[in-house]
Amino acid sequence: MIYDVCIIGSGVGGSGVAYTLAMSGKKVVVLERGLFYREKDFSKDEIAYCKRDIITPNLKESYHTIESLEDEKWIKTATYDSENSFFNGNVVGGSSNFMSGYFHRFKPNDFRLKSTYPEIKGANIMDWVIDYSELEPYYEKVERLVGISGEVTPHKYHEPRSTPNFPYPPLDEHPISKLIDKSCHKLGFIPYKTPRAIISKPKDKRDNCYYSNYCGSYGCSSGAKGSARVSLLEPALKSGNLTIITSAFVKKLEEKNKKVTKAIYIDTQTLKEHYIKAKIFVVANQAVESCRLLLNSKSLNFPNGLANNSNQVGKNILFSAGGVGSGGFDFNSMPIDELMKEGLFVNRSLCDWYEIDGVKGGIIDLLFEHANPISKAIKERWQDGELIWGEKLQDKIFYKFTKTRRVNFEIFNDWLPNDNCFVSVDDKYRDIYGVPVANIRIGSHPHNLKIANILAQKAKKLLIEMGAKDINISISPYPPSNLQAGGCRFGDNPQTSVLNKYCQTHEIKNLFVTDGSFMPTGGSLPYTWTIYANSFRVGEYILNI
């Protein structure tokens, strides 16, 4: 069979394309490396999801190599040694099954950093080839189809909207949100309700949130979380036009006469090799793995990898700059019965410093520390620099779990693309299938830390005003692995970009890349909502070609 479209990867970047085409009658096949987990398969098992990470490949079998700068030398380390995985949720629906669901739209200026702000030496900044107005209808579509809860809170940097408010009301809030609001108003800050891709009311066959207190890193047992699987792929399956093949690791795309003809994949259960034929191919593996696939798909016409005669594939990879911090609260902050209420959301963000002294700034999200009782208990084994045990440790853990809460803040600011942040492949390092693994050089521009530290001090000021104790801050040039973009940036110039404005490769007209790889800059926000919106936009384009 020759499908109309073959999509590699079932996460946020591919799901909007799959939904759009399948619901319009096109025959679509999705190849997913992982398994098909549904609500009944998810649990709140911290060991499984946070300690052993059962939803990503075993690092002894499939890994990456990381290049980091040490004493002015780039040192390469395999992730099976560091145990720092850059795989994220290899199941149907991808990492969207395990996200916390903090959804922010990019602001208009996020699309034009180069033309809006002063040049920063050493940063490879490009404006986007679309603007906010072109993406806005698809942001709104995500609100309805994926399901976003919230309440529009006016502030200086709020983006234009075509609708007055979100389709689902805000999630229930913890009493500490009122303390945040009160403290912000004293400081002259403007707190706003954080939009969440978690429905507060039932939608179709999805139940609303039941406030289990286990959200980030865990699959949702009610279907409230707006994963690509539950919100788009499962409805598209009912059309009869979508096929999802699981346990399918795509090792190579075959090309002939500047057209992709086959996706060759290995069944990870049987280790047998298969292939899929289609008229159009869409790569949506997350940025690192998408770049790896193209770089490994060499041919006579493309000796450096598919769509890579410009040598731009893998260049200018993006992560999220910023960091985290937290402060402790106890009965002195508010009545203990209010403080210890479980499951309710903080749902507050700050956007006051989206611009700082004429340059791009970022945002601050506020949240409770994740439930994870094992991790929380382990942290209590130290006191005043000494290891404690027995009754002393028991009392400390009891106090931690019954009398205190920690409010975390997460900072998001632009990760500036630069020459020392890219993906490549090295034949010396191969996975168990014999395929060269992705090598990720992680070079952070110094400006990333400068902005993140300014934002951290703003967050610290808020925590102090709230009465927090034991405030700690961690700002690092090393990025989180779950937010990946860039590597196949879109643009008008085929010499400096991989894709055109519709995420179609300049050199191969039946090949598209629709995960975050298309982004030339990443904004000062989590990427997920924007990747979803762009996936719908590209899906409509493919439907009409």
pLDDT of residue 499 exceeding 90, the answer is yes
Closest to 435 in 3D by CA, of 316, 271, 270? 271
DSSP classification of residue 505? B
Q: What is the pLDDT of residue 70?
A: 86
pLDDT of residue 333 exceeding 90, the answer is no
Per-residue pLDDT band at 69 (split at 50, 70, 90)? confident
Per-residue pLDDT band at 51 (split at 50, 70, 90)? confident
| Sign of the torsion angle spanned by Cα atoms 289, 291, 292, 298 | positive
Q: What is the pLDDT of residues 106-128, one digit of tens each?
A: 999 999 999 999 999 999 999 99
Q: What is the mean pLDDT of the chain?
A: 96
Other CB atoms within a 10 A radius of the CB of residue 77 amount to: 14
**Residues sharing a CB contact under 8 Å with residue 507, sequence separation 6 or more, in sequence order:** 258, 302, 307, 309, 310, 494
pLDDT of residue 370 exceeding 90, the answer is no
Average pLDDT over residues 508-516: 98
| Residue 524 identity | S
Q: Tokens in use for 117? A: 């702000």
**Residues sharing a CB contact under 8 Å with residue 430, sequence separation 6 or more, in sequence order:** 436, 437
Average pLDDT over residues 373-395: 92
Backbone angles phi, psi at 499, to 5 degrees: -120, 155
Q: Tokens in use for 249? A: 């690791």
Q: What is the pLDDT of residue 83?
A: 82
Q: Cα separation of 400 and 408, whole Å? A: 15
pTM over 0.85: yes
Backbone angles phi, psi at 456, to 5 degrees: -60, -35
Per-residue pLDDT band at 481 (split at 50, 70, 90)? confident
For 255, counting Cβ atoms within 10 Å of its Cβ (0-12 exposed, 13-18 middle, 19+ buried), the class is buried
Q: Cα separation of 458 and 463, whole Å? A: 9
Reported in sequence order, the residue ranges of 115-268 that DSSP labels E, i.e. its strands, are 191-193, 242-245, 248-256, 259-267
Domains by residue range for the chain, with CATH: 1-149+199-208+220-318+484-545 (3.50.50.60)
Coil vs helix vs strand at 53: coil
Q: Cα separation of 355 and 110, whole Å? A: 11
Q: Which residues of 326-339 are buried (b: 16+ CB within 10 A; e: fewer)?
A: bbbbbeebbeeeeb
